Structure 1
Amino acid sequence: MLKKSTIDKHHFYLIFPNIFDFKGGIQVYSTFLLKALQDVYPEAHYDVFLKYDKDNLKQQENLQFLTSTKFHYFGNLPRLLQSILFAIKIIISAILQRPTLVISTHVNYAIACYILKLITGTPYWVVAHGLEVWEIENNATKLALQKADKIISVSNYTRQRLLEFKNIDSEKIVLLPNTFDAKQFKINPKPTYLLKRYNLTDEQPVILTVTRMGRMAKYKGYDQILHALVKIRLHVPNVRFILAGKGDDIPRIKALVSNLNLQDCVTIAGFIPDEELCDYYNLCDVFALPSKGEGFGIVYLEALACGKPVLAGNQDGSIDPLAEGKLGCLVDPDNVEEIADNLIQILQGDCSNPVIYQPQYLQQKTIEAFDFSQFRTSLAKLVGGY
């Protein structure tokens, strides 16, 4: 870490897709990254470039960033101009200000970082999450990733995928896993108000999925759960599946529910506000997201911190939060039969991994490995050389 006398010369450029108007994995990671940096370097200067966000002072105040943080918004621009002006503003500002370090939390912005490095020598890091870096087709983006001073991988799985690339120095790829705020997630009884809202009894088994439901997000595995429910309800007749989130795939999902005659056991809950999220985890008996495209999956951490059994896919970054299966149940995300059988076993108390029925243990191990304090300490060590 830099000595205090040099901290006031430290100037970070953070390049994010957005953090205010949409909450996805990259957005949550970006927010935690900025907060951690500001905890470690409270006297540094921060310029944050947000491609899709529109100016929103109230949301800035809610997230409690340092008052000296300067946000640059591009969300009001026409899409054709957005990318060009976004890159130009970053490059020109950096030529004038000469930041100490540039960090981009999406690989698509690495090209602007690389151009800046060619002009000024400014070092840059790129955060690698999941699908967006597993198979890069654009040669310029691939080159910009190769030339980064550090590539921050959010999971061991993504790091292994990056190591398959040619011409990327393996020593550049470092691990800084996703994190969460452990204070927000507690082990509690099923909330009465949600039982009433969904007309459930306290003993009724509930499967929960919280995810984005976009037409490009079918890899999340909610279709497989719906198909698995046909078998699950034969063994667990009063099961209820609550599918929460928003996205443009919901009309198709509703049609699938109808085609499978699952209307009486499936609830599409819509977007869950942050203040209710912990309650939803506590409402369920198992959290299930058998995805095959997760870079990591923060929702798994949140569910585990509430002491819940978790079912995830075994072919992506979901392996990391579940400690390679030690803290949950990993399944083939394409195998509906396997998903159904494992959910039945979990709900009936017959899962072969007894740890999933030990809520305090699940919570403790998750906090030890992934709490924000761990993330902040790891980030401080990474930035210390600049």
Structure 2
Amino acid sequence: MRNMVIQKLRKLILGDIPLRISNIEEIQNSHYNSNLRALEEIKLYYKRIEEDSTARSVEVQKYCTENILRNEQRIKFMEDKIEKQVVAINSRIDAQEVSVYLKSLLSAEIMISDLYLENILKEPIRRDKIPHSKSLSVGYCCNMANNHYLFAHILNTHGYEAKLVYQEQFQDNSIFNHPAWEVLDEEFESIPTSKALKDKIEHHEFVISAKWDQNVCIYSPVTLNERALKNFLYQERFNFSDLKKMLLINNILPHWDLIAKLRQFDLLQVSGLAIALAPFTGRPYVTFPYGADIFDSAMEDSTMGRLMRLGFKMASGHILSGTRFGALVHELQMENVIYLPYMCNTRIYYPKDESEFRDELERKYGKGIFLLMPSRQDWEVKGNNKFFEALAKIENKSNIRVFCINWGSDLKRSQELVENLGLSDLVFWLPLLAKGRLRKYINACDVIVDQFNIGEFGTTAIEGMACGKPVICYIDKAFEKFCQNPPVLNCKDKNGIISILNLIINREYNLNSIGSNSLQWVRQNMGIDALLPKYLDFYKKAIEVGPAIWLN
């Protein structure tokens, strides 16, 4: 078993680099000695705190003050138990006692790696220069709402080497991030599992699967050896021996397979938690934040929050698809920033005749003006409640048909609101729609309803415009200027929505003309022909900036 593990790791990480570990005892001794050094590191840390507390940041001082007594107890506990580790690995002793000890060891490692991250975030960045290459290969990671699947699809269809590195067990575990979701023409009464979709789509040559090794997350006598071995291999690959760096590596060991597969590309584009992992690849990368990753995850007072901030700082560039991200550029130490809209795949989203499907919907729901609200039911972000409340105020609304999808944190609230407002005969709840089926609904409906709170496009709004449909949504002044005045039916509050709905009902809008303008606008501002050259140019500049040097 040991030889199989070593061979597998050599193949993934080291390639042809010779492996110097010869037996399991050496691995055990290496980890045992690391723990002894960890204990000394903790003691020295508290000594420094006592000698010069002003040298630490306010945040760290507060952290240390609140936890110093508990950690002093932990140090004593480690002193009492550390001699038992080799015994614990090689013999049967009380499992609960071992578990308590290992948890204390993990807490100590987290504390040291957090302090190390705090120091790195204060240091200037050194960068490596990569020799110029005529070719360009791009790896995309974290497939939020299939955005990176579509990027990889676009680059491949234009002759570039690009792949989505897909981590189904961890950051891509949502069905909405599964590549199959983008192409299936199906409806689902409940959220399907990724496993249920595996047989529904053929393998794409530009999608690579990466494993998440959750066993490495758990401290146990078995996994201690594997953690120590991987630390040793990482030391060989990046040529460092600093204890703090070794302990920091433990945070990303479960993603070992993902990091190894990302290293094959000239450049990476990362979102979500992949931003925290990208610095460990040694490759130049650009961030492409989608929202929660920059506004929430990167702001956490946790190891993950620090790793996210590290990821933003060490990046070779940043592509921001909206003006709201700009507020955090300085705070997250982001350099080489460009504002580029989301690139819509206009080869997939385009006007298509769905008259037969429209006839089918009319037979089921009646004729009228069809409005589609594909966005999730989330009152804080999307403001769906504003739309329903506005619709209730419309007097002549009998020919309106509104189609909403059964998903979102406020789904039940929205359904109850619709019923209480007496709109149940006008608002119809559809099952979950895979994107292939959603495209049919978009092309069969007359108007797309997006969001009324955040002031920027949702993805489905752009896709609706690419299909030649008018879009009702709220676009703030800053984003409107950034996006070159998109021809949307712009409104934010209930009165604004009422006004637009009345104009639609009374046929005072030429919806076909607005839809045609929307299509042309998307192609000129967010389409492949307009944006792909700009993305590729920025990729090349990011490669020239080079990856950050910090692990050696």
User: How does the TM-score come out when normalised to structure 2?
Assistant: 0.54
Name which of 222, 230, 242 aligns with 2:384.
222
Q: Which has the larger radius of gyration?
A: 2
- The yes-or-no answer on 1:207 pairing with 2:371 is yes
Instruction: Tell me: CA distance 1:107–1:3, structure 2 relative to 1, closer, same or farther (3 Å).
Output: same
Q: What is the alpha-carbon distance in structure 2 between the residues aligned to residue 383 and residue 230 of structure 1? A: 49
| Residue of structure 1 equivalent to 2:209 | 71
Residue number among 361, 376, 379 corresponding to 2:535 in the alignment: 379
1:167 paired with 2:333, answer yes
Query: Counterpart amino acid of 1:300?
Result: A
* Aligned-pair Cα RMSD in Å: 3.9
- Give distance in 1, aligned partners of 2:414 and 2:351: 31
1:108 aligned to which of 273, 289, 296: 273
1:14 pairs with 2:172: no
- Structure 2 CA distance for partners of 1:178 and 1:159, relative to 1, 3 Å: farther
**Matched position secondary structure for 1:61:** coil
Once the two structures are superposed, the pairs formed by residues 48-127 of structure 1 within 5 Å of their partners are 48-50=166-168, 51=170, 52-53=172-173, 58=199, 61=202, 64-66=204-206, 69-74=207-212, 87-90=252-255, 94=259, 98-101=263-266, 103-114=268-279, 116=280, 121-127=282-288
Q: How many residues are matched?
A: 352
Indicate conservation of the 8 Å contact 1:312/1:330, yes or no: yes
Whichever structure has more strand as a proportion of its residues is: 1
Q: Which residue of 2 aligns with 1:276?
A: 437
Which residue is 2:145 aligned to?
Answer: 27
Q: 1:152 to 1:70 in 2, by over 3 A?
A: same
Letter in 2 for 1:226: F
CA contact (8 A) 1:210 1:245 kept: no
- In the alignment, structure 1 residue 145 sits paired with structure 2 residue 145: no
| SS of the residue 1:177 aligns to | coil
Alpha-carbon separation, structure 1, partners of 2:466 and 2:261: 45
1:239 counterpart = 2:400: yes
Gaps of at least 5 residues in structure 2 are 1-129, 174-193, 219-248, 544-552
1:266 match: 427
Change (3 A) 1:275 1:339: same
Query: What is the CA–CA distance in structure 2 between the aligned matches of 1:11 and 1:110, rounded to whole Å?
Result: 19
Report SS of the residue matched to 1:258. Answer: helix
Superposition deviation, residue 294 in structure 1: 6.9
Equivalent residues in 2 for 1:168-187, closer than 5 Å: 168-169=334-335, 171-186=336-351
Q: Unaligned regions of 5+ residues in structure 1, if any?
A: 19-25
Q: Which residue of 1 aligns with 2:63?
A: none
Percentage of pairs with the same residue: 17
Tell me which residue corresponds to 1:36: 154
Q: Which residue of 1 aligns with 2:452?
A: 291
Q: For 2:489 and 2:134, how far apart are their aligned partners in 1? A: 48
Q: Does 1:307 align with 2:460?
A: no
Aligned partners of 1:242, 1:230: CA distance in 2, in Å?
A: 15
The corresponding residue for 2:62 is: none
3-state SS in 2 of match to 1:151:
strand
Correspondent of 2:501 among 339, 343, 352: 343
User: Letter of the aligned partner of 1:378 in structure 2?
Assistant: K
- Does residue 133 of the first structure (1) align with residue 294 of the second (2)? yes
Bigger mean CA deviation after superposition, 204-213 or 48-57: 48-57
